Protein backbone atom coordinates (compact mmCIF):
# COMPACT_ATOMS: atom_id res chain seq x y z
CA UNK A 1 0.00 0.00 0.00
CA UNK A 2 1.35 3.41 -0.95
CA UNK A 3 1.96 6.03 1.83
CA UNK A 4 -0.65 8.34 0.32
CA UNK A 5 -3.17 5.51 0.55
CA UNK A 6 -2.68 5.10 4.30
CA UNK A 7 -2.88 8.85 4.88
CA UNK A 8 -6.14 9.16 2.93
CA UNK A 9 -7.75 6.27 4.83
CA UNK A 10 -6.64 7.49 8.28
CA UNK A 11 -7.78 11.07 7.68
CA UNK A 12 -11.10 10.00 6.24
CA UNK A 13 -11.78 7.65 9.15
CA UNK A 14 -10.75 10.14 11.86
CA UNK A 15 -12.78 13.02 10.41
CA UNK A 16 -15.81 10.83 9.89
CA UNK A 17 -15.73 9.42 13.42
CA UNK A 18 -15.65 12.90 14.99
CA UNK A 19 -18.39 14.72 13.09
CA UNK A 20 -20.55 12.16 11.30
CA UNK A 21 -22.86 9.25 12.22
CA UNK A 22 -21.24 5.83 12.22
CA UNK A 23 -22.98 4.68 9.04
CA UNK A 24 -21.88 7.75 7.06
CA UNK A 25 -18.33 7.39 8.43
CA UNK A 26 -18.28 3.82 7.15
CA UNK A 27 -19.36 4.93 3.66
CA UNK A 28 -16.64 7.58 3.48
CA UNK A 29 -13.95 5.17 4.66
CA UNK A 30 -14.95 2.60 2.02
CA UNK A 31 -14.92 5.37 -0.57
CA UNK A 32 -11.36 6.29 0.43
CA UNK A 33 -10.33 2.67 0.00
CA UNK A 34 -11.84 2.62 -3.48
CA UNK A 35 -10.05 5.82 -4.46
CA UNK A 36 -6.71 4.53 -3.22
CA UNK A 37 -7.06 1.27 -5.13
CA UNK A 38 -7.95 2.76 -8.48
CA UNK A 39 -5.50 2.54 -11.41
CA UNK A 40 -3.96 5.68 -12.92
CA UNK A 41 -5.88 7.06 -15.89
CA UNK A 42 -4.79 5.38 -19.10
CA UNK A 43 -2.85 2.59 -17.38
CA UNK A 44 -3.53 -0.95 -18.52
CA UNK A 45 -4.42 -3.62 -15.97
CA UNK A 46 -1.26 -5.46 -15.07
CA UNK A 47 1.00 -2.62 -16.14
CA UNK A 48 3.89 -1.43 -14.01
CA UNK A 49 4.38 1.95 -12.36
CA UNK A 50 5.32 3.58 -15.67
CA UNK A 51 2.38 2.03 -17.52
CA UNK A 52 4.56 -0.52 -19.33
CA UNK A 53 3.14 -3.89 -20.29
CA UNK A 54 4.99 -7.12 -19.51
CA UNK A 55 5.34 -10.04 -21.93
CA UNK A 56 2.98 -12.04 -19.74
CA UNK A 57 0.36 -9.30 -20.00
CA UNK A 58 0.70 -9.31 -23.77
CA UNK A 59 0.00 -13.04 -23.87
CA UNK A 60 -3.11 -12.51 -21.76
CA UNK A 61 -4.33 -9.73 -24.04
CA UNK A 62 -3.83 -11.87 -27.13
CA UNK A 63 -5.69 -14.74 -25.50
CA UNK A 64 -8.60 -12.40 -24.75
CA UNK A 65 -9.00 -11.42 -28.42
CA UNK A 66 -11.64 -13.67 -29.95
CA UNK A 67 -10.98 -14.22 -33.68
CA UNK A 68 -13.55 -13.16 -36.25
CA UNK A 69 -15.22 -15.57 -38.65
CA UNK A 70 -14.37 -15.58 -42.37
CA UNK A 71 -17.70 -13.89 -43.10
CA UNK A 72 -16.99 -11.12 -40.60
CA UNK A 73 -13.50 -10.57 -42.02
CA UNK A 74 -14.96 -10.22 -45.53
CA UNK A 75 -17.69 -7.86 -44.33
CA UNK A 76 -15.28 -5.56 -42.54
CA UNK A 77 -12.43 -5.65 -45.07
CA UNK A 78 -12.05 -1.86 -44.99
CA UNK A 79 -12.35 -1.57 -41.20
CA UNK A 80 -9.64 -1.78 -38.54
CA UNK A 81 -10.52 -4.72 -36.31
CA UNK A 82 -9.82 -4.23 -32.60
CA UNK A 83 -10.65 -5.63 -29.18
CA UNK A 84 -11.05 -3.19 -26.33
CA UNK A 85 -11.81 -2.97 -22.63
CA UNK A 86 -14.15 0.00 -22.40
CA UNK A 87 -15.96 1.95 -19.68
CA UNK A 88 -19.12 3.73 -20.82
CA UNK A 89 -20.56 7.02 -19.52
CA UNK A 90 -22.45 5.16 -16.76
CA UNK A 91 -19.18 3.68 -15.44
CA UNK A 92 -19.92 0.14 -16.67
CA UNK A 93 -16.89 -1.75 -17.98
CA UNK A 94 -17.15 -4.28 -20.80
CA UNK A 95 -15.02 -5.91 -23.49
CA UNK A 96 -15.93 -5.38 -27.11
CA UNK A 97 -14.83 -6.31 -30.59
CA UNK A 98 -15.17 -3.35 -32.94
CA UNK A 99 -14.71 -2.94 -36.70
CA UNK A 100 -13.41 0.64 -36.60
CA UNK A 101 -14.48 2.53 -39.73
CA UNK A 102 -12.84 5.84 -38.82
CA UNK A 103 -11.55 8.00 -36.01
CA UNK A 104 -11.00 11.54 -34.78
CA UNK A 105 -8.66 12.82 -32.08
CA UNK A 106 -11.39 12.11 -29.48
CA UNK A 107 -13.38 9.14 -30.79
CA UNK A 108 -13.21 5.90 -32.74
CA UNK A 109 -16.42 4.87 -34.48
CA UNK A 110 -17.56 1.70 -36.19
CA UNK A 111 -19.58 -1.50 -35.88
CA UNK A 112 -19.60 -3.08 -32.42
CA UNK A 113 -19.96 -6.84 -32.89
CA UNK A 114 -21.24 -7.34 -29.34
CA UNK A 115 -23.95 -4.65 -29.65
CA UNK A 116 -24.71 -5.46 -33.29
CA UNK A 117 -24.86 -1.81 -34.42
CA UNK A 118 -22.84 1.34 -35.03
CA UNK A 119 -21.24 2.92 -31.97
CA UNK A 120 -18.61 5.50 -31.11
CA UNK A 121 -16.03 5.11 -28.36
CA UNK A 122 -13.99 7.74 -26.56
CA UNK A 123 -10.26 7.08 -26.58
CA UNK A 124 -9.92 8.19 -22.95
CA UNK A 125 -12.38 5.52 -21.78
CA UNK A 126 -10.36 2.63 -23.22
CA UNK A 127 -8.31 0.73 -20.67
CA UNK A 128 -6.98 -1.71 -23.28
CA UNK A 129 -6.89 -1.70 -27.06
CA UNK A 130 -5.62 -4.65 -29.09
CA UNK A 131 -5.49 -5.31 -32.84
CA UNK A 132 -7.63 -8.39 -33.35
CA UNK A 133 -5.72 -10.11 -36.13
CA UNK A 134 -2.20 -9.70 -34.75
CA UNK A 135 -2.74 -9.34 -30.99
CA UNK A 136 -0.61 -6.19 -31.00
CA UNK A 137 -1.31 -3.79 -28.14
CA UNK A 138 -2.20 -0.29 -29.33
CA UNK A 139 -2.19 3.11 -27.65
CA UNK A 140 -5.72 4.59 -27.77
CA UNK A 141 -5.81 7.84 -29.74
CA UNK A 142 -2.09 7.83 -30.60
CA UNK A 143 -1.06 9.16 -34.05
CA UNK A 144 0.21 5.71 -35.00
CA UNK A 145 -3.16 4.17 -34.16
CA UNK A 146 -5.03 6.84 -36.13
CA UNK A 147 -2.68 6.27 -39.07
CA UNK A 148 -3.36 2.54 -39.10
CA UNK A 149 -7.11 3.12 -39.07
CA UNK A 150 -6.79 5.50 -42.03
CA UNK A 151 -4.57 3.06 -43.94
CA UNK A 152 -7.14 0.26 -43.66
CA UNK A 153 -10.06 2.58 -44.43
CA UNK A 154 -8.49 3.91 -47.62
CA UNK A 155 -7.02 0.64 -48.81
CA UNK A 156 -3.60 -0.89 -49.64
CA UNK A 157 -2.56 1.79 -52.15
CA UNK A 158 -2.90 4.56 -49.56
CA UNK A 159 -1.06 2.41 -47.01
CA UNK A 160 1.80 1.78 -49.45
CA UNK A 161 2.20 5.50 -50.15
CA UNK A 162 1.88 6.77 -46.57
CA UNK A 163 5.57 6.35 -45.55
CA UNK A 164 6.59 8.22 -48.71
CA UNK A 165 4.12 11.09 -48.43
CA UNK A 166 6.56 13.70 -47.05
CA UNK A 167 8.96 13.09 -49.95
CA UNK A 168 6.15 12.86 -52.50
CA UNK A 169 4.71 16.17 -51.35
CA UNK A 170 8.11 17.87 -51.65
CA UNK A 171 8.61 16.47 -55.15
CA UNK A 172 5.10 17.45 -56.23
CA UNK A 173 5.70 20.97 -54.87
CA UNK A 174 8.86 21.30 -56.99
CA UNK A 175 7.10 19.87 -60.05
CA UNK A 176 4.28 22.42 -59.69
CA UNK A 177 6.62 25.37 -59.05
CA UNK A 178 6.32 26.42 -62.70
CA UNK A 179 2.55 26.17 -62.63
CA UNK A 180 1.64 22.51 -63.30
CA UNK A 181 2.73 18.91 -62.62
CA UNK A 182 2.90 17.29 -66.05
CA UNK A 183 2.95 13.60 -66.98
CA UNK A 184 6.76 13.43 -67.57
CA UNK A 185 7.30 14.94 -64.12
CA UNK A 186 4.85 12.49 -62.55
CA UNK A 187 6.76 9.67 -64.25
CA UNK A 188 9.92 10.78 -62.43
CA UNK A 189 8.06 10.74 -59.10
CA UNK A 190 6.55 7.32 -59.87
CA UNK A 191 10.01 5.90 -60.56
CA UNK A 192 11.24 7.31 -57.25
CA UNK A 193 8.33 5.68 -55.35
CA UNK A 194 8.90 2.29 -56.97
CA UNK A 195 12.61 2.41 -56.24
CA UNK A 196 12.27 3.61 -52.64
CA UNK A 197 9.43 1.35 -51.48
CA UNK A 198 8.92 -2.38 -51.98
CA UNK A 199 5.17 -1.87 -51.46
CA UNK A 200 5.08 0.72 -54.24
CA UNK A 201 7.25 -1.44 -56.50
CA UNK A 202 4.44 -4.03 -56.43
CA UNK A 203 1.96 -1.46 -57.78
CA UNK A 204 1.50 -0.68 -61.47
CA UNK A 205 2.96 2.62 -62.67
CA UNK A 206 -0.49 3.71 -63.88
CA UNK A 207 -1.93 3.21 -60.39
CA UNK A 208 0.85 5.25 -58.77
CA UNK A 209 0.54 7.96 -61.42
CA UNK A 210 -3.17 8.32 -60.65
CA UNK A 211 -2.44 8.64 -56.92
CA UNK A 212 0.36 11.17 -57.39
CA UNK A 213 -1.89 13.19 -59.67
CA UNK A 214 -4.32 13.48 -56.73
CA UNK A 215 -1.73 15.06 -54.41
CA UNK A 216 -3.15 18.49 -53.53
CA UNK A 217 -1.10 21.64 -54.13
CA UNK A 218 0.60 22.86 -50.95
CA UNK A 219 2.10 26.13 -49.76
CA UNK A 220 5.78 26.69 -49.00
CA UNK A 221 5.18 26.39 -45.24
CA UNK A 222 3.71 22.91 -45.60
CA UNK A 223 6.52 21.90 -47.95
CA UNK A 224 9.03 22.90 -45.28
CA UNK A 225 7.06 20.92 -42.70
CA UNK A 226 7.55 17.82 -44.86
CA UNK A 227 11.26 18.61 -45.18
CA UNK A 228 11.55 18.52 -41.38
CA UNK A 229 10.16 14.98 -41.43
CA UNK A 230 12.92 14.00 -43.87
CA UNK A 231 15.82 15.69 -42.07
CA UNK A 232 16.84 12.54 -40.18
CA UNK A 233 17.04 10.32 -43.27
CA UNK A 234 20.52 9.11 -44.32
CA UNK A 235 22.73 11.72 -45.97
CA UNK A 236 22.96 9.78 -49.24
CA UNK A 237 19.17 9.49 -49.40
CA UNK A 238 18.75 13.24 -48.81
CA UNK A 239 21.32 14.00 -51.51
CA UNK A 240 19.46 11.74 -53.96
CA UNK A 241 16.18 13.49 -53.16
CA UNK A 242 17.76 16.88 -53.79
CA UNK A 243 19.14 15.63 -57.10
CA UNK A 244 15.67 14.43 -58.03
CA UNK A 245 14.24 17.85 -57.21
CA UNK A 246 16.80 19.41 -59.57
CA UNK A 247 15.83 16.94 -62.28
CA UNK A 248 12.16 17.81 -61.86
CA UNK A 249 12.81 21.54 -61.97
CA UNK A 250 14.92 21.17 -65.12
CA UNK A 251 12.48 18.84 -66.90
CA UNK A 252 10.91 21.69 -68.87
CA UNK A 253 14.41 23.01 -69.82
CA UNK A 254 13.65 26.45 -68.37
CA UNK A 255 14.79 27.15 -64.81
CA UNK A 256 13.19 30.28 -63.37
CA UNK A 257 14.40 32.26 -60.37
CA UNK A 258 11.54 30.93 -58.22
CA UNK A 259 12.60 27.36 -59.00
CA UNK A 260 16.27 28.10 -58.27
CA UNK A 261 15.36 29.61 -54.91
CA UNK A 262 13.15 26.64 -54.05
CA UNK A 263 15.94 24.21 -54.89
CA UNK A 264 18.43 26.16 -52.78
CA UNK A 265 15.98 26.20 -49.87
CA UNK A 266 15.42 22.44 -50.08
CA UNK A 267 19.17 21.73 -50.20
CA UNK A 268 19.85 23.91 -47.15
CA UNK A 269 17.02 22.46 -45.06
CA UNK A 270 18.09 18.89 -45.85
CA UNK A 271 21.72 19.66 -45.05
CA UNK A 272 22.94 19.12 -48.61
CA UNK A 273 25.42 21.46 -50.27
CA UNK A 274 23.69 23.92 -52.58
CA UNK A 275 25.01 23.66 -56.18
CA UNK A 276 26.25 26.85 -57.77
CA UNK A 277 23.75 28.79 -59.81
CA UNK A 278 20.69 27.76 -57.77
CA UNK A 279 20.10 31.16 -56.18
CA UNK A 280 18.13 33.57 -58.33
CA UNK A 281 17.73 37.28 -57.70
CA UNK A 282 18.43 38.29 -54.10
CA UNK A 283 14.95 39.68 -53.44
CA UNK A 284 13.21 36.40 -54.37
CA UNK A 285 15.66 34.41 -52.26
CA UNK A 286 15.03 36.56 -49.22
CA UNK A 287 11.25 36.28 -49.63
CA UNK A 288 11.45 32.49 -49.83
CA UNK A 289 13.63 32.18 -46.72
CA UNK A 290 11.20 34.14 -44.50
User: Mean of the per-residue pLDDT values for the chain?
Assistant: 77
Give the pTM: 0.53
When mean pLDDT is compared across 83-87, 90-94, 153-157, 243-247, the lowest value belongs to 153-157
Beta bridge partners of 99: 81, 111
DSSP for 62-105, written as a single string: HHH-PPPPHHHHHHTTTSEEEEEEEE-TTS-EEEEEEEEEEE-S
Work out the widest C-alpha separation in the chain, in whole angstroms. Answer: 91
Give the tens place of pLDDT for each residue, 174-188.
999 888 899 999 999
Structural domain boundaries in the chain: 3-37, 60-153, 158-288
The number of CA neighbours under 13 Å toward the Cβ of 35 is: 13
Q: What percent of the chain has pLDDT over 70?
A: 68
DSSP code, position 112? E
- Mean pLDDT for 123-127 is 94
> Residue 150 CA to chain centroid, in angstroms?
9
Q: Which CATH number fits domain 60-153: 1.10.3470, 1.10.287, 2.30.30, 2.60.120?
A: 2.30.30
Give the tens place of pLDDT for each residue, 207-252.
899 889 988 899 999 999 999 999 999 999 999 999 999 999 888 7
Cα 43 from Cα 125, distance rounded (Å): 11
Amino acid sequence: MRPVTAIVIVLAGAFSALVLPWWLALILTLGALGWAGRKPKGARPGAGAEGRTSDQDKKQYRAACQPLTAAELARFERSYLVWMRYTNAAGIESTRRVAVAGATNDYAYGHCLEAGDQRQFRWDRMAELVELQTGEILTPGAPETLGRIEDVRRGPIFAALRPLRPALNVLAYVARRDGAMRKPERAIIVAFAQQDSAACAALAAEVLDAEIKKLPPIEVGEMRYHLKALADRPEAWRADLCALCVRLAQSDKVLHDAERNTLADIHRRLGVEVPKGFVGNRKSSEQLSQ
